[in-house]
Amino acid sequence: MMLGIDVGGTHTDAIIIDGGEITASAKKVTRKQDLVGSIVDAVIGLGIDVARVKRVVLSTTLATNSIVENTLAPVGMVVSAGPGIDPREYFLNEDFYLVKGAIDHRGREYQGLSDREVVDAGRKLKARSIEGIGIVSKFSVRNPMHENRMHYLLANEFKYISMGHQMSGSLNFPRRIYTAYFNTAVMPLQHGFLKSVGDAFRDMGINADILILKADGGTITHDAAFRLPVETILSGPAASIMGAIALTGERRTALVLDIGGTTTDIGVLVKGVPLMQPQGVDMAGKKTLVRGLDLLSLGLAGDSTVVVEDGKIRIGPGRKGPPACLGGTSPTPTDALSVMGLFDKGERRRAEEAFESIAQVLDKGVEEVARQVIKKFCQELRSAVTEFIDVLNSRPVYTIHDMIYPELISPETVIVVGGPAGSFCSLMEDTFGLECKVPQYHEVANAIGACLARTTARITLVADTHLGKLICPELDIEKDIPGDYSPDDVKVFGMERLDELYRYLGMEDRPDIDVVEEQSFNMVRGFRTVGKNIRLRMQTRPGVLSLSRA
Amino acid sequence: MKALNRTGLIFFPAYDWEISPTHPERQERLLYTQDQIMEEGLLDIEGIHEFKAGFATEHDIQRVHFCVPDVASRITTSHNISAGGCIEAARHVLEGDVDKAFALVRPPGHHSMRVVHGARGFCNINIEAIMVEWIRRNYPRIKKIAIVDTDCHHGDGSQDIFWHDPRVLYISLHQDGRTLYPGSGFPREFGGPNAFGMTVNVPLPPRTSDRGFLFVIENLVLPILKEFKPDLVVNSAGQDNHYSDPITDMAFTARGYARLNEMLSPDICVLEGGYSIEAALPYVNTGIILALAGLDYSYLREPGLDTESIKEGQKILDYIARLTDNILEKWYNKEKLRSEYYEGEAYVKRDKSIYYDTDGISESQTEEVRVCDKCPGVFKIDSQASTGYRILGIHIPWGACQECREKGLEWFNEAKGPYYGVYLQDMDADRYRVRLL
């Protein structure tokens, strides 16, 4: 028996999957001041024997909210950079310290770290009673020696510490700074929350491991979430997309529309695999290295407010409350569906009343207005999606092969989930000219996605046979390699490490491992080949446990 | 951080193309540059946009080159994309998507001349020239273009292509041809009779460093540009003047390159040479991008740079000051000098021997231009190469007068003799014709 929980801004959804069937679901209002209580309510609402639960996956917006509401703990940052863009450009406040030390693009140190400056920065942060720090150096993913040294010098002084190279193996110094910053910033909150949830579950008699959903639609263990809480921020949209995959088993290239009250999130599956942001997601306006699904989020949804501006209908992007037919005050696309007879909940009469003033202004009948609202809704959705796909398809490529044989995304089908999904199905079919399906249980797709999401892990390997070094920053591996180390050797080494990691992260079966990037360059100095520079990125394929095996 | 100038970047490292495995023009060339650009987070800066490269068409190439025997046999796809990358950079600038753009592409092009029998100086086709002619075809409002070539080698290909063109000013700063390939680029090379002064060569002494280069920009290049008033400025941004470059002998720095671009403020930069792939390119390219975008680059410097030890001596600076004076004086007197040299001439001929070092081909050319005061003047090139091909190429320029046009067509239609074929570029009609004999 598996339990999936999605704590959303409005509702907390819980679902039970047992023997390949969805056997129970519950939806409760989220109490923002008592998230643990909301979770407990939802679980109780399932009415099940909780002792049988073997796996729990939790998706939560807790950290997201505290970032948005800026209720984060203060964080000190100690940064070494060396020449380039002035690193102080990225400093957010006086708790950011720049220390001497520089490493180049191949991971060679060319300016030693100043221990004295590091210790000094630590002392000043301590004096301000700061408990958490981030440690970042430029090119630390090519050589973490300065970050490791800073950690050694400061570890005893601070309760919460994040090191840049452990956040991600990608190059991008400013993003590394912000990723480490947010990771430390949400640690106290996330630690407290996870501990309370664990306690509450034990009190209820649930003894299963708790997994946490990440923004990339994969899960990590409770322990890993302690170390990398930043990965679990923004998991909400991922939950729904993973739910859509679980409910349809789609293996083709597809658009997934999660039509909610306030926003519609649009994700893309390429041959059944969700598409990720190339670098990382944005948090509170800062770019990070946190992997997340590449989503288009539009303020064009079921509860978006409909108004008339300069004689034209405008939908959203705001929401003033529920649709008029469900007790709200302003007309919404859901009300337009109600008027047209495509939405049968609530009171159609109230929907019609809500459109009357617009009908008067436009000198048209209420039904005609409703028709126009829906037409406009579909047009705007289509043009935003078309533009989104165009942008995805015009991403630069770096080899002649990829220029000649581009892998263009061309959706073959549409999956719609979310509250009002059922009413939108035939409209979406017409809008995109594609087959469209609304799976059963789509209104709790988020909790199902959380419940069935698989563990994901991704590692980066850079081998430089000229320097005789292999590095895997995410796993803190540095290894001496012989001069004849080959791309295949790197791949085998990476496979073994990823397999170990995967087992450590709590997955029982063997993962599908994809090599997502692979490059090998002969290094030539003075007309002589002196070595190979090999770069590999591999990951466990994001996906869901099949319902039948669950 | 926000770019003052919206800046586009076309990055095409051609990770699957090389001249040969150990050649300077190999897969690895832009690898560390990409690492540096990614690590600095340059593409995340508000106002800096990365665009995808494109393909130059055969027709785009034919506007510039007489490829012998034809385009397909002289290039590979990588050349198409390299030239196409420049075209995309220009497109985004001229469409107003960005204010400036940098085509960080390979392979390079500035040693390719109008007639192409093979590859020379690692170049098969001239990517800037193809971009320039594409711009003039698609954006007629761009009438005058200046190319400032800051590659360490004289851009003899670009000079050759625009030699007769009064609307393309070609200025090259390079290591003195007496000390470096291709051995040309002296002040006496000053443009053809209809474009006299529209080619300006500044051969700099070995070991020239930041002060020398920036002196020439300030005291020669900027004054000439001010008078020429170009609608568009292109920088052929070769990076082999760097003190660490393995095949040249100059002492320019990354911050110097950045300052040069800040002063010049080109609309489009195109990467040319530069083979210090670890110690120079990552930093020079970062500097150029920052300078184009109008961002601070004062914190940028190469690891281990010792500015004092590479500083040029006073003798070099004095030499450069005299050189600059002489060239500038000549430039201000170009009308007078032109009439002294060419008064009363109807046609002017020049003979050239060209060596294709990359492919080991020799070519001999006779070029004849009609001296014209109404238009840039029609010209023809009789070219014979050691490959056995001999061709006649005829170029009817943009805005050709009636007489020049008729003369060009007459040459094309009446040519007989030992040619493999006769080729015609008719710029206004945007037509390329080949008559095989």
Residue of A nearest to B78 (CA): A400
A278 lies in the same domain as A238: no
- The span from the CA of B243 to the CA of B248, in Å, is 8
Examine the fold and report which residue of A168, A202, A228 is the final residue of a domain before the chain moves on. A168
Contact criterion met (CB < 8 Å) for A400 and B16: yes
Residue of B nearest to A397 (CA): B52
Residue of B nearest to A289 (CA): B41
Q: What is the pLDDT of residues B296-326, one digit of tens each?
A: 999 999 998 999 999 999 999 999 999 999 9
Which of A83, A522, A528 lies closest to B301 in CB terms? A83
B366 lies in the same domain as B303: no
Q: How high is the pLDDT of residue A511?
A: 73
Report which of B232, B201, B262, B197 is spatially closest to residue B93, judged by C-alpha positions.
Answer: B232
From chain A, pick out residues whose CB is under 8 angstroms from the CB of B14: 398-400
- The span from the CA of B108 to the CA of B127, in Å, is 7
B384 lies in the same domain as B276: no
Judge whether A310 lies within some domain.
Answer: yes
- The span from the CA of A428 to the CA of A431, in Å, is 5
Q: Is the peptide bond before A333 cis (omega within 30 degrees of 0)?
A: no
Per DSSP, the three-state class of A62 is: helix
Which of B17, B41, B299 lies closest to A86 in CB terms? B299
Examine the fold and report which residue of B278, B304, B334 is the final residue of a domain before the chain moves on. B334
Q: How high is the pLDDT of residue A172?
A: 97
B370 lies in the same domain as B241: no
A153 lies in the same domain as A51: no
- The span from the CA of B284 to the CA of A359, in Å, is 62
Contact criterion met (CB < 8 Å) for B278 and A522: no
For an interface test with B, which of A110, A165, A403 has the most B Cβ atoms less than 10 Å from its Cβ? A403
Residue A469: is its pLDDT beyond 60?
yes
What does chain B come to in residues?
437
CATH number where A135 lies = 3.40.1010
Of the CA atoms within 13 Å of residue B167, those in its CB half-sphere come to: 19
Q: How high is the pLDDT of residue A234?
A: 84
Q: What angle do CA A84, A86, A87 make, to 5 degrees?
A: 100
Distant-in-sequence contacts of A511-516, Cβ < 8 A, 24+ apart: A511/A454, A511/A455, A511/A457, A511/A540, A511/A541, A512/A540, A512/A541, A512/A543, A513/A538, A513/A539, A513/A540, A513/A541, A514/A538, A514/A539, A514/A540, A514/A541, A515/A491, A516/A458
Q: What is the pLDDT of residues B121-161, one digit of tens each?
A: 999 999 999 999 999 999 999 999 999 999 999 999 999 99
Query: Nearest CA of chain B to the CA of A179: how many Å?
Result: 13
Contact criterion met (CB < 8 Å) for B21 and A521: no
What does chain A come to in residues?
550
A238 lies in the same domain as A328: no
Mean pLDDT of A44-49: 94
Judge whether B339 lies within some domain.
Answer: no
For residue A420, what are its two tokens? 């009002």
Q: Is the peptide bond before A322 cis (omega within 30 degrees of 0)?
A: no
Q: What is the pLDDT of residues A8-32, one digit of tens each?
A: 877 899 999 998 889 999 999 888 8
Decide if B144 contacts B169 (C-beta within 8 A).
yes
Which of A175, A401, A527 lies closest to B41 in CB terms? A175
CATH number where B258 lies = 3.40.800.20
Contact criterion met (CB < 8 Å) for A523 and B21: no
Residue B191: is its pLDDT beyond 80?
yes
Q: How high is the pLDDT of residue A72?
A: 84
For B367, the domain range is 346-436
A268 lies in the same domain as A367: yes
In this predicted model, which residue has the larger pLDDT, B217 or A528? B217
Mean pLDDT of B181-207: 97
Backbone φ and ψ of A299, nearest 5°: -80, 50
From chain B, pick out residues whose CB is under 8 angstroms from the CB of A82: 303
Residue A549: is its pLDDT beyond 60?
no
β-bridge pairing B115-116 and B46-51: unpaired
Examine the fold and report which residue of B334, B367, B392 is the final residue of a domain before the chain moves on. B334
A254 lies in the same domain as A392: yes
- The span from the CA of A64 to the CA of A72, in Å, is 10
For an interface test with A, which of B12, B39, B77 has the most A Cβ atoms less than 10 Å from its Cβ? B39
| Helix (H), strand (E), coil (C) string for chain B | CEEEEEEEEEEECCCCCCCCCCCCCCHHHHHHHHHHHHHHCHHHCEEEEEECCCCCCHHHHHCCCEECCCHHHHCCHHHHHHHHHHHHHHHHHHCCCCCEEEEEECCCCCCCCCEECCCECCECCCHHHHHHHHHHHHCCCCCCEEEEECCCCCCHHHHHHHCCCCCEEEEEEEECCCCCCCCCCCCCCCCCCCCCCCEEEEEECCCCEHHHHHHHHHHHHHHHHHHHCCCEEEEEECCCCECCCCCCCCEECHHHHHHHHHHHCCCEEEECCCCCCCCCHHHHHHHHHHHHHCCCCCCCCCCCCCHHHHCCCHHHHHHHHHHHHHHHHHHHCHHHHHHHHHCCCCEEEEEEEEEECCCCEEEEEEEEEECCCCCCCCEEEEEEECCCCEEEEEEECCCCCHHHHHHHHHHHHHCCCCCCEEEEEECCCCEEEEEEC
Contact criterion met (CB < 8 Å) for A521 and B300: no
B221 lies in the same domain as B72: yes
Q: How high is the pLDDT of residue B22?
A: 84
From chain A, pick out residues whose CB is under 8 angstroms from the CB of B11: 396, 398
B410 lies in the same domain as B307: no
**Chain B contacts in chain A segment 136-155 (CB below 8 A):** 138-139
State the residue for tokens 């850079």.
Answer: A462
Among the listed residues B92, B111, B154, B395, the single catalytic one is B111
Judge whether A222 lies within some domain.
Answer: yes
Q: Is A49 on the interface with B (CB under 8 A)?
A: no
**Amino acid type, B151:** D
B281 lies in the same domain as B260: yes
Which of A102, A171, A519 lies closest to B38 in CB terms? A171
Which spans in A142-273 are helix H? 145-154, 164-167, 173-204, 222-227, 236-248
Query: Nearest CA of chain A to the CA of B9: how many Å?
Result: 10
Is-catalytic flag, B111? yes
Q: How high is the pLDDT of residue A70?
A: 73
From chain B, pick out residues whose CB is under 8 angstroms from the CB of A394: 51-52
The whole-chain average pLDDT of chain B stands at: 96
Judge whether A181 lies within some domain.
Answer: no
Range name among A12-26, A57-71, A119-133 with the lowest pLDDT average: A57-71
Query: Nearest CA of chain A to the CA of B422: how many Å?
Result: 32
Report which of B260, B213, B264 is spatially closest to residue B234, judged by C-alpha positions.
Answer: B264
Residue B200: is its pLDDT beyond 60?
yes
Judge whether A99 lies within some domain.
Answer: yes
Residue A550: is its pLDDT beyond 60?
no
Contact criterion met (CB < 8 Å) for B28 and A104: no
Quote the number of domains for chain A: 4
A305 lies in the same domain as A263: yes
- DSSP H or E run through A500: helix A487-504
B262 lies in the same domain as B120: yes
**Amino acid type, A24:** A
Contact criterion met (CB < 8 Å) for A523 and B28: yes
B285 lies in the same domain as B378: no
Report which of A237, A217, A245, A218 is spatially closest to residue A439, judged by C-alpha positions.
Answer: A245
From chain B, pick out residues whose CB is under 8 angstroms from the CB of A87: 299
Q: Write down the number of H helices and E strands in chain A.
A: 15, 27
Contact criterion met (CB < 8 Å) for B34 and A398: yes
**Amino acid type, A287:** K
A404 lies in the same domain as A471: no
Q: What is the pLDDT of residues B239-275, one digit of tens each?
A: 999 999 999 999 999 999 999 999 999 999 999 999 9
Q: What is the pLDDT of residues B84-108, one digit of tens each?
A: 999 999 999 999 999 999 999 999 9
A224 lies in the same domain as A323: no
Judge whether B197 lies within some domain.
Answer: yes
Decide if A45 contacts A14 (C-beta within 8 A).
yes
By percentage, how much of chain B surpasses pLDDT 90? 94
Contact criterion met (CB < 8 Å) for B299 and A528: no
Query: Nearest CA of chain B to the CA of A55: how many Å?
Result: 39
Contact criterion met (CB < 8 Å) for B41 and A526: no
Judge whether A183 lies within some domain.
Answer: no
B323 lies in the same domain as B177: yes
B57 contacts: CB under 8 Å, gap ≥ 6: none
**Amino acid type, A424:** F
Judge whether B340 lies within some domain.
Answer: no
Query: Nearest CA of chain B to the CA of A368: how many Å?
Result: 39
Examine the fold and report which residue of B334, B355, B372 is the final residue of a domain before the chain moves on. B334
A393 lies in the same domain as A269: yes
Contact criterion met (CB < 8 Å) for B50 and A396: yes
For residue A141, what are its two tokens? 């993913």
- The span from the CA of B353 to the CA of A266, in Å, is 62
Residue of B nearest to A89 (CA): B1
Q: Is A519 on the interface with B (CB under 8 A)?
A: yes
Q: Kindly provide the residue ranges of all beta strands, DSSP E only, lying in A418-454, ordered along the sequence.
A: 435-437
A287 lies in the same domain as A233: no
Range name among A258-262, A287-291, B172-176, B406-410 with the lowest pLDDT average: A258-262
- The span from the CA of B436 to the CA of B17, in Å, is 33
Mean pLDDT of A472-476: 94
From chain B, pick out residues whose CB is under 8 angstroms from the CB of A527: 22
Residue A206: is its pLDDT beyond 90?
yes
Q: Is the peptide bond before B107 cis (omega within 30 degrees of 0)?
A: yes
Q: Is A221 on the interface with B (CB under 8 A)?
A: no
For A363, the domain range is 250-436
Residue of A nearest to B282 (CA): A105
From chain A, pick out residues whose CB is under 8 angstroms from the CB of B300: 83-85
Q: What is the pLDDT of residues B12-61, one digit of tens each?
A: 999 888 888 888 888 999 999 999 999 999 999 999 999 999 999 999 99
Give the neighbor-by-neighbor strand order of the sheet with A96-99: A96-99, A75-80, A132-137, A160-163
A312 lies in the same domain as A224: no
For an interface test with B, which of A142, A178, A524 has the most B Cβ atoms less than 10 Å from its Cβ? A524
For an interface test with B, which of A399, A522, A535 has the most B Cβ atoms less than 10 Å from its Cβ? A399
B301 contacts: CB under 8 Å, gap ≥ 6: A83, B253, B254, B255, B283
From chain B, pick out residues whose CB is under 8 angstroms from the CB of A287: 41, 44
Cβ pairs A/B, distance under 8 A = 117
B52 lies in the same domain as B115: yes
A353 contacts: CB under 8 Å, gap ≥ 6: A324
Q: How high is the pLDDT of residue B222?
A: 98
Contact criterion met (CB < 8 Å) for B303 and A533: no
By percentage, how much of chain A surpasses pLDDT 70? 98
Per DSSP, the three-state class of A412 is: coil
Quote the number of domains for chain B: 2
CATH number where A386 lies = 3.30.420.40
B323 lies in the same domain as B394: no
Judge whether B319 lies within some domain.
Answer: yes
Sign, CA torsion B269/B273/B279/B280: negative
Sign, CA torsion B379/B382/B383/B389: positive
Judge whether B127 lies within some domain.
Answer: yes
Residue of A nearest to B55 (CA): A403
Residue A221: is its pLDDT beyond 60?
yes
A276 lies in the same domain as A389: yes
Judge whether A14 lies within some domain.
Answer: yes
Q: Is A397 on the interface with B (CB under 8 A)?
A: yes
State the residue for tokens 């190439």.
Answer: B61
Report which of B21, B148, B56, B153 is spatially closest to residue B67, judged by C-alpha positions.
Answer: B56
Examine the fold and report which residue of A436, A467, A487 is the final residue of a domain before the chain moves on. A436
- Burial string for B325-354 (b: 16+ CB within 10 Å, else e) reads eebeeebeebeeebeeeeeeeeebeeebeb
- DSSP H or E run through A44: helix A35-46
B227 lies in the same domain as B184: yes
Judge whether B330 lies within some domain.
Answer: yes
- Quick count: other Cβ atoms within 10 Å of Cβ A412? 13
Per DSSP, the three-state class of A251 is: coil
Q: How high is the pLDDT of residue A520?
A: 93
Judge whether A443 lies within some domain.
Answer: no
Judge whether A446 lies within some domain.
Answer: no
